[in-house]
């Protein structure tokens, strides 16, 4: 799996967009970018994934650079409930289910 | 649609006992994966079941076992509990095997005393 690098922590004001970066400079052509988050004491929550095109769903948008060496998860209007640790994972899809999280980014949304 | 459910949510056991945890996946999902999460080790993969067959296994001792039923529900069992087995045990379901778009349950918090 390609290694990912995320900032350890970020703050965001409630109602503003939260932009969480992830570097994955060694990504290979068949690896997807997945984002999960974990709110304290809860199970991880799948957010979004993509290969090369930008993706959007009801939770977030995923912007992947043209060279695919980095990506940004965007929460368009952050709320206090978005305070969580966000994990960026790069994996070949549909090989194994053995998910592994790195340290992630602890996002704190402030009122 | 209903999410992944796990029972029980909390358990306290003593060393040497055994425990069985249950997971009901999202309707239509046929893959169930189990994970152990601790503050020190983070998220660790235990095993994955798909169509009642174990497809992948992590690096855990044989005291950790699981099974999947024809309705995709899954159980995991830990025998001869050790203090180090205290953890949050998470179940995740997905549509297909090896699918990284996984949906996690709330977990079972196991405390071994």
pLDDT (0 to 100) of residue B75: 98
Q: What is the pLDDT of residues A23-73, one digit of tens each?
A: 999 998 888 999 999 998 888 999 999 999 899 999 999 999 999 999 999
Q: What is the pLDDT of residues A66-109, one digit of tens each?
A: 999 999 999 999 999 999 999 999 887 666 667 778 889 999 99
Q: Provide, as residue numbers in chain A, all residues whose Cβ is less than 8 Å from the Cβ of B43.
A: 44, 99-101
| Element holding B33 (H helix, E strand) | strand B31-38
> Nearest-CA residue of chain B relative to A96?
B98
Residue B46 has pLDDT above 80, yes or no: yes
Question: How far, in Å, CA of B74 to CA of A38, rounded?
Answer: 23
Are A46 and B56 in contact (CB < 8 Å)?
A: no
Burial label, B57 (beta-carbon count in 10 A; 0-12, 13-18, 19+): middle
Are A97 and B98 in contact (CB < 8 Å)?
A: yes
Are A97 and B104 in contact (CB < 8 Å)?
A: no
Chain B: residues touching A (Cβ < 8 Å): 4, 31, 33, 35, 42-45, 48, 55-56, 58, 90, 92, 94, 96-107
């Amino acid at each position: 799996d390609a290694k990912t690098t995320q900032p350890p922590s970020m703050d965001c004001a409630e109602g503003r967009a939260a932009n969480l970066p992830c570097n994955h400079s060694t990504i290979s052509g068949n690896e997807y970018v997945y984002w999960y988050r974990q709110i304290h004491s809860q199970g991880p929550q799948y957010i979004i994934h993509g290969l090369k095109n930008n993706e959007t769903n009801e939770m977030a948008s995923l912007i992947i650079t043209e060279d695919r060496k980095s990506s940004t998860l965007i929460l368009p209007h952050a709320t206090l409930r978005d305070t969580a640790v966000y994990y960026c994972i790069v994996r070949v899809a549909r090989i194994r289910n053995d998910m592994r999280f790195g340290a992630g980014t602890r996002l704190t949304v402030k009122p | 649609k209903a999410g992944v459910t796990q029972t029980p949510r909390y358990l306290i056991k003593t060393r040497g006992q055994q425990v069985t945890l249950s997971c009901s996946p999202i309707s239509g999902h046929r893959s169930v994966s189990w994970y152990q999460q601790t503050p020190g080790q983070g998220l660790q993969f235990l095993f994955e079941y798909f169509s009642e067959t174990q497809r992948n296994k992590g690096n855990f001792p044989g005291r950790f076992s699981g099974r999947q039923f024809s309705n995709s529900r899954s159980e995991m069992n830990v025998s001869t509990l050790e203090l180090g087995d205290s953890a949050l045990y998470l179940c995740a379901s997905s549509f297909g095997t090896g699918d990284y778009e996984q949906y996690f349950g709330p977990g079972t918090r196991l405390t071994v005393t």
